[in-house]
Amino acid sequence: MTRVGVLALQGDVREHARVLAARGADVVLVRRPEELAAVGGLVIPGGESSVIDKLARVFGLQQPIRDAIAGGMPVYGTCAGLILLADRITDGIAGQESFGGLDITVQRNAFGSQVDSFETALEVDGFDTPTHATFIRAPRVVEVGPAARAIATLSDDAGGAVVAVTQGNLLGTAFHPEVSGETRFHDLFLQRVRAA
């Protein structure tokens, strides 16, 4: 069985755990370095990136997660999780840090209060059909560095922003497949875990 972790400090941990378990994975809720050491991949959920950042530091997980990323562990982050995987953050709270790994700059809460949350059909590189993407106080990727690759971009009338990125074994989406019945991102993550 493929054993994977969901970072369980804050956010929509259960939704990810449910999708992963339904795809046949053995899911560990990760709150301690020993739990991280026991998994072959990690999902960082949506939630509040500044809170997850702070708790990761309090729980002694920041450095182990950075080391796991540097060591090639597959990691998938949604929304707040994407922010935590970004090398650079704009509009973070004072002192906010990330784990990093994706050569991108993300802007937090990038869609403003009027379109706080929205849903849209989105084409994704490598998918046969569009995904139904749910954005909730979502970030957008404002810069994609040479090491990262954009795999989904909103249409111009939806703002034209990059909203999904991959780099090596890292995958990040500004939206929440775990709440919309979309399983292809989790399947890609699990494929990477099995191959790693």
When asked if residue 120 is in the footprint of ligand GLN (CB under 6 A), the reply is no
Residue 74's φ and ψ, nearest 5 degrees, are: -65, 130
Residues whose CB is less than 8 angstroms from the CB of residue 49 and which lie 6 or more positions away in sequence, other chains included: 80, 81, 83, 84, 89, 92, 96, 98, 108
From the CB of 72, what's the least distance to ligand GLN, in Å?
A: 25
Q: How far is CA 44 from the centre of its chain?
A: 5
Report the residue number, 40 or 175, with the smaller CB distance to ligand GLN: 175
Q: How far is 121 from 164, CA to CA, in rounded Å?
A: 13
- Minimum CB–partner distance for residue 22 and ligand GLN (Å): 21
CB of residue 113 vs ligand GLN: minimum separation in angstroms? 12
Enter the tokens of residue 46.
């949506």
Question: Judged by CB under 6 A, does residue 105 bind ligand GLN?
Answer: no
Comparing CB distances to ligand GLN, the nearer of 40 and 53 is 53
Minimal distance in Å, beta carbon 129 to ligand GLN? Answer: 24
Q: Beta strand 75-78 with 86-90: parallel, antiparallel or unpaired?
A: unpaired
| Residue 89 bridge partners (DSSP) | 106
Q: Does 48 bind ligand GLN (CB under 6 A)?
A: yes
Catalytic residues, which ones? 79, 176, 178
**Binding test (CB under 6 A) with ligand GLN, winner from 23, 29, 35, 109:** 109
By DSSP bridging, strand 170-173 and strand 75-78 are parallel
Cα gap 35→27, rounded to integer Å: 11
**For residues 27-46, which are near ligand GLN according to CB under 6 A?**
46
* Parallel/antiparallel/unpaired status of strands 117-122 and 131-136: antiparallel
127-186: which residues touch ligand GLN (CB under 6 A)? 136-137
User: Between 50 and 89, how does the x/- string for binding to ligand GLN read (CB under 6 A)?
Assistant: -----------------------------xx--x------
Binding site for ligand GLN (CB under 6 A): 46-49, 79-80, 83, 108-109, 136-137
